[in-house]
Structure 1
Amino acid sequence: MINNISILKNITILYAEDEKSLRDITLNILKGFTNKQFVAENGLEGLELFKKHEEEIDLIITDVNMPQMNGLDMIKEIKKINPNIPIIVATAFSNTEYLLEAIDIGVDKYILKPIDMKKLLQVMSQSLLYHELKDLYVDKLTRLPNRNKLKKDLDLTAQDLMALINIDKFSTINDLFGEDNGNKLLIQFSMIIKQFFSSDDYRVYRIESDKFAVVAKDYAMDIKEFEILCEKFANHIEENAIFIDENEIDLNVTIGIACADNKLAYKYTERVINYARKRFEQILVYDNSFNIQESFEDNIKWVKEVKKGLKEGLFVAFYQPIVNTQTQEIYKYEALIRYINEQGEVIAPIKFLDIAKKAKLYSYIIEIMLLEAIGLIKEQKKRVAVNISFDDITNTKTTKKIYDTLEENKEFVHLLEFEILESEEINNFATVTTFIDKVKSLGCSVGVDDFGAGYSNFNMLTNLNIDFVKIDGSLIKNIDTSKNQQIIVETIADFSKKFGFKTVAEFVSSEEIYEKIKELNIDYCQGYHFGKPESKDKI
């Protein structure tokens, strides 16, 4: 019939016609070609259907002469709500005055009665240009306005009050129940949001797979009132499971709220929701204390500084001693990155390391640290440990550089150790095992750093061919006063000894902590009690 007739299967139409016989015949045919049909017997009924189902309806077909409200009056009211909705007018040839009026109010498609169904379907397919454009602004799954529509709407207002709502750990739900059930859940979740935040006062959007936005139509409303409503919504979600078929799914949400002008509300909610996650808070309202602009400026500054430091050799290693717990003699040093600015100020990695990772510059830093450590080994015959992350190990370019450097310095690398950062999630044991076997074959020792923090599990220790375990400082710093921490550290130490791993305690900052570490038979100690990180010339 027409080339793109199959595309009509995706659309939902509103069909208004008062003549029953014609309505039944036409509707019967339309059911075979379109996804869904809303049917009205007069203009007033058609208008009410459109108001109720505006987000679903893609196309309107209407008669002109109808009781209660004629088709043109209905069109005028609908155009006030959505001036872009495509409308096809069906009318007799004799009613030319209606066609002229229809053109005046923005109707550019018409079909003459008696209706030629081939012609009607052709005209409908031509109207799908709007449907394609609409997809740019409508989420196909939930039929909510999408991120594009949100940004467009925010551009039209001087100030906005909005909330960003994120379903916690939605990827886990997909893994447990499957994507089909995950999609059903999102549809139900979107319906719950719309129930809580009425269309009279709020606009609701789906921004990403598990992220939704709610914008107050009255930006001047009390932000505390908005926060209370958001809190009620969050509690409702937490207290009421969503049922998908026979599956009961419990959800939690995190919500960030902001009120701002100059199109900043969306940026602020994104930032504040990240703070909320880090602080394990359900709801957080943005205020000036977050210093978002200063944070951005600081990030930009440090990306430039890192690039400059790499280019000009401003990154150097400082070395902190690690001592034998029983004799207090220095056994080895840990190499720790420092940035020396133009004023000679020594800057710790807390200022720049995370930014270097996000800017994809971190791999260059591990190369610097490796060369620095080997330099100290060559000059002073000291044993040196270097940190390496899971990201470094999975980066083939980085590991090749490491292997090449070790091969070039074979006679020295027996004094080199690698500490794998255990606080980073290791999800590919085969890759880590390959790395460990390779560097150990060249004479290096390998251990796990920060054990007891992040993703710690004893099964990981038994699966990796390591030599030592460094216990995270968060478990050590209060071990002299915390019985719980003593028990955890003792468990790690006993487990390690049974499997032949040496143990190292970080953050040993006082005589009291040292005595407790000694009592627990930890092999080595590291911390300010024995020495701060120092430059190479001070060792």
Structure 2
Amino acid sequence: MINNVSILKNITILYAEDEVALREITLNILRGFTKKQFVAENGAQGLDLFKQNESEIDLIITDVNMPIMNGLEMIREIKKINPHIPIIVATAFSNTEYLLEAIDIGVDKYVLKPIDMKKLLQLMSQSLLYHELKDLYTDNLTHLPNRNKLKKDLENSSEDLMAIINIDKFSTINDLFGEHNGDKVLIEFADALKEYFSNQEFIIYRIEADKFAVISKSFDRDVNNFYDLCKNFEEFIEQEPVYIDEHEIDLNITIGIAKSDANNAYKYAQRVVTYARKKFEPILIYNDSFNIQESFEENIKWIKKIKNGVKNGDFKGYFQPIVDTKTKEIYKYEALVRYIEEDGTVVSPYTFLNIAKKAKLYPHIIRIMLDEAFNLIKTKNKRVAVNISFEDIASAVTMEHINKVLKENAEYTNLLEFEILESEEISNFEEVFKFINTVNEFGCKVGVDDFGAGYSNFNMLVNLNISYVKIDGSLIRSIDKSENQKIIVKTIDEFAKKFGFKTVAEFVSSEEIYEVIKEIGVDFSQGYYFDAPLSYDQIK
């Protein structure tokens, strides 16, 4: 018996019994097996104790016939507060009608009077183990089935029609109103889902903090009919704010719908909801044009290739010349990563760089590029610029490696430059200041790349100790045909010059573009008009 009830030694119970003698006998035994006991003489007292100590209580044992409030009335009220609390009812054999009612309101176990203590202790341990298992499949906040339950249900299903519903920017709600109110919003949202999607026709799950799934119980339901129902729900949510303690909270949601007879509905719905968010579409139905399976396979293939490529030296630096705009003489080279296939095919970073970043493999690539840059600097005496992201700068591991490499190559660092990618949002300028000061001590120049795209900030240029600004290619590639782009580039160039920064134009691909850049007075130029990125062997 001890082995069976060892689980009880750390639990707290609420015990309600009006018979003094039975209460004392039972309580004395329970004290030897449980950590703490709250004792009530009637249902009303028991309910009050539960309300005051809900977070502590793990299990309830109660008599049925008690004064003021009987055990079943107490159970009904407690189940409203916590529907998952395990409850054992003690009743006389003659009270079978009470027993049936107890089962109907969700009581887990019962024990007959006079109480067999060995039986009671076994029932207590069984009840806790049952609820421990049940909690694996239930979301504690909304009491909806959780992701574990969804996965289990999907394993038993060969065809599904489902929607994944994502609350947009839910973290902002937590930031603005606090996590406590955020939890209340999720409960309200779950209740709204239950209203729109009846439990007779649908199963609703909470699968992540701000993500829910709705599965139709009938696969034969028309997908357009399901779309209309989801659309109505989306419109309702966006038109009706949630009120939490008089706070009006507006919600926006994105919905991805998928129907599949190959057990793929879940991953299709996940991917289409992500696709919908990128396209700013509130609701989309998956179709084969999204090529989701092919995309998965391509991602898996490239993750493996990147890992092996790092080990086997398949990543190489290619170097594109940056010339003096006036003379067209090469001033330096920008180091650009390329993946070399077994057959010698050179693969552009556009194919694998985002995958490398998402798979947390990008730090390996920045290290390779530093080695490639120093190889060109040391053997061919060339000035080389290497791209660096804010994520690299904020990584202690990456920065430790950069410092190590700079120290090992200290006599050559005056020919190395870093270009900070300005198209990525910088969330901590202190880290950037620290980085610039560190590499400046080694004689490295620092520039800002992609200026004019994304998060362009003139104030940032003033506050950072940089040497040059590279103007984003989106402003250069049509500058010979767009007066507006010409004005923007001229403004950036004049601003940079006033603060002593040199300017670089990238994507200079034709003589017409070059002539405009030269007329504006941009200091340096880069692009296919001068040369494509070159391998190490192609550079003299």
TM-score bracket, shorter-length normalisation:
0.7 to 0.9
Partner of 1:501 in structure 2? 501
1:32 to 48, 59, 69: 48
Aligned residue type for 2:253: V
Tell me whether 347-356 or 324-333 shows the greater mean CA deviation: 324-333
Q: Once the two structures are superposed, what CA deviation does each residue of 1:161-214 show, in whole Å capped at 9, x if it has no partner?
A: 111111111112211221112111111111222222222221111111111111
Do 1:5 and 1:121's aligned partners in 2 also have CA atoms closer than 8 Å? no
Partner of 1:22 in structure 2? none
Q: Once the two structures are superposed, what CA deviation does each residue of 1:271-312 show, in whole Å capped at 9, x if it has no partner?
A: 222222222222222222223232222222222222332222
Tell me whether 490-499 or 187-196 shows the greater mean CA deviation: 490-499
Task: Note the 1:64-75 alignment, pairs <5 A.
Answer: none
User: Runs of 5+ in structure 1 lacking a partner?
Assistant: 10-24, 60-85
Do 1:165 and 1:254's aligned partners in 2 also have CA atoms closer than 8 Å? yes
Q: Once the two structures are superposed, what CA deviation does each residue of 1:359-394 show, in whole Å capped at 9, x if it has no partner?
A: 333222222211222222223322211111222223
Partner of 1:65 in structure 2? none
Could you tell me how far 1:235 is from its partner in structure 2?
2.3
Do 1:5 and 1:33's aligned partners in 2 also have CA atoms closer than 8 Å? no
Task: Output the CA distance in 2 between the equivalents of 1:121 and 1:490.
Answer: 83
Could you tell me how far 1:55 is from its partner in structure 2?
11
Is 1:58 matched up with 2:74? no
Task: Output the CA distance in 2 between the equivalents of 1:409 and 1:137.
Answer: 57
SS across alignment from 2:164: strand
Could you tell me how far 1:8 is from its partner in structure 2?
5.7
Partner of 1:243 in structure 2? 243
Aligned residue type for 1:133: L
Do 1:477 and 1:507's aligned partners in 2 also have CA atoms closer than 8 Å? yes
Task: Output the CA distance in 2 between the equivalents of 1:185 and 1:107.
Answer: 30
Do 2:471 and 2:503's aligned partners in 1 also have CA atoms closer than 8 Å? yes
Partner of 1:218 in structure 2? 218
Aligned residue type for 1:255: I
Partner of 2:466 in structure 1? 466
Partner of 2:155 in structure 1? 155
Partner of 1:421 in structure 2? 421
Aligned residue type for 2:418: F
Could you tell me how far 1:242 is from its partner in structure 2?
1.9
Could you tell me how far 1:418 is from its partner in structure 2?
0.6
- How has the CA–CA distance of structure 1 residues 407 and 510 changed in structure 2, closer, same or farther, with 3 Å as cutoff? same
Partner of 2:172 in structure 1? 172
Do 2:475 and 2:489's aligned partners in 1 also have CA atoms closer than 8 Å? yes
Do 1:4 and 1:125's aligned partners in 2 also have CA atoms closer than 8 Å? no
Task: Output the CA distance in 1 between the equivalents of 2:421 and 2:413.
Answer: 20
Could you tell me how far 1:505 is from its partner in structure 2?
1.9
Partner of 2:140 in structure 1? 140
Could you tell me how far 1:159 is from its partner in structure 2?
0.7
Partner of 1:68 in structure 2? none
Could you tell me how far 1:438 is from its partner in structure 2?
1.1
Task: Output the CA distance in 1 between the equivalents of 2:13 and 2:209.
Answer: 25
SS across alignment from 1:127: helix
Partner of 2:455 in structure 1? 455
Do 1:469 and 1:496's aligned partners in 2 also have CA atoms closer than 8 Å? yes
SS across alignment from 2:410: coil
Could you tell me how far 1:437 is from its partner in structure 2?
0.9
Is 1:318 matched up with 2:344? no
Q: Once the two structures are superposed, what CA deviation does each residue of 1:120-148 show, in whole Å capped at 9, x if it has no partner?
A: 99977863433332221111111211111
Partner of 2:371 in structure 1? 371
Aligned residue type for 1:385: A
Report percent identity of matched pairs. Answer: 63
Do 2:448 and 2:468's aligned partners in 1 also have CA atoms closer than 8 Å? yes
Task: Note the 1:211-290 alignment, pairs <5 A.
Answer: 211-290=211-290
Task: Output the CA distance in 2 between the equivalents of 1:407 and 1:89.
Answer: 74
Could you tell me how far 1:479 is from its partner in structure 2?
2.9
Do 2:468 and 2:503's aligned partners in 1 also have CA atoms closer than 8 Å? yes
Task: Note the 1:523-538 alignment, pairs <5 A.
Answer: 523-538=523-538
Partner of 2:441 in structure 1? 441
Is 1:207 matched up with 2:207? yes
Partner of 2:395 in structure 1? 395
Task: Output the CA distance in 2 between the equivalents of 1:95 and 1:245.
Answer: 45
Aligned residue type for 2:448: V
Is 1:412 matched up with 2:438? no
Partner of 1:291 in structure 2? 291
Task: Output the CA distance in 2 between the equivalents of 1:27 and 1:283.
Answer: 50
- How has the CA–CA distance of structure 1 residues 431 and 108 changed in structure 2, closer, same or farther, with 3 Å as cutoff? closer
Task: Note the 1:11-30 alignment, pairs <5 A.
Answer: 26-30=42-46
Task: Output the CA distance in 1 between the equivalents of 2:244 and 2:221.
Answer: 36
Task: Output the CA distance in 1 between the equivalents of 2:179 and 2:50.
Answer: 26
Could you tell me how far 1:442 is from its partner in structure 2?
0.6
Could you tell me how far 1:331 is from its partner in structure 2?
2.0
Q: Once the two structures are superposed, what CA deviation does each residue of 1:326-372 show, in whole Å capped at 9, x if it has no partner?
A: 33332221111111211111111112222222333322222221122
Task: Output the CA distance in 1 between the equivalents of 2:511 and 2:161.
Answer: 54
SS across alignment from 1:411: helix
Do 2:168 and 2:254's aligned partners in 1 also have CA atoms closer than 8 Å? yes
> Please, what is the CA RMSD of the aligned residues?
3.6
Task: Output the CA distance in 1 between the equivalents of 2:297 and 2:379.
Answer: 41
Task: Output the CA distance in 2 between the equivalents of 1:186 and 1:95.
Answer: 42
Task: Output the CA distance in 2 between the equivalents of 1:521 and 1:231.
Answer: 54
Task: Output the CA distance in 1 between the equivalents of 2:205 and 2:275.
Answer: 22
Tell me whether 142-151 or 127-136 shows the greater mean CA deviation: 127-136
Partner of 2:109 in structure 1? 109
Partner of 2:131 in structure 1? 131
Partner of 1:383 in structure 2? 383
User: Runs of 5+ in structure 2 lacking a partner?
Assistant: 1-7, 16-40, 55-59, 66-71
Do 2:318 and 2:535's aligned partners in 1 also have CA atoms closer than 8 Å? yes
Aligned residue type for 2:44: N
Q: Once the two structures are superposed, what CA deviation does each residue of 1:17-50 show, in whole Å capped at 9, x if it has no partner?
A: xxxxxxxx8531441344599xx99xxxx9xx99
Task: Note the 1:88-107 alignment, pairs <5 A.
Answer: 91-94=91-94
Task: Output the CA distance in 1 between the equivalents of 2:531 and 2:472.
Answer: 18
Aligned residue type for 1:518: K
Partner of 1:18 in structure 2? none
Q: Once the two structures are superposed, what CA deviation does each residue of 1:450-502 show, in whole Å capped at 9, x if it has no partner?
A: 22333333333333221112122223223333454444434433332333222
Task: Output the CA distance in 1 between the equivalents of 2:265 and 2:282.
Answer: 19
Is 1:330 matched up with 2:356? no
Tell me whether 485-494 or 271-280 shows the greater mean CA deviation: 485-494
Aligned residue type for 1:28: A
Partner of 1:64 in structure 2? none
Q: TM-score, normalised by structure 2?
A: 0.80
Q: TM-score, normalised by structure 1?
A: 0.80
Partner of 1:480 in structure 2? 480
Could you tell me how far 1:56 is from its partner in structure 2?
6.1
Partner of 1:75 in structure 2? none
Aligned length: 483
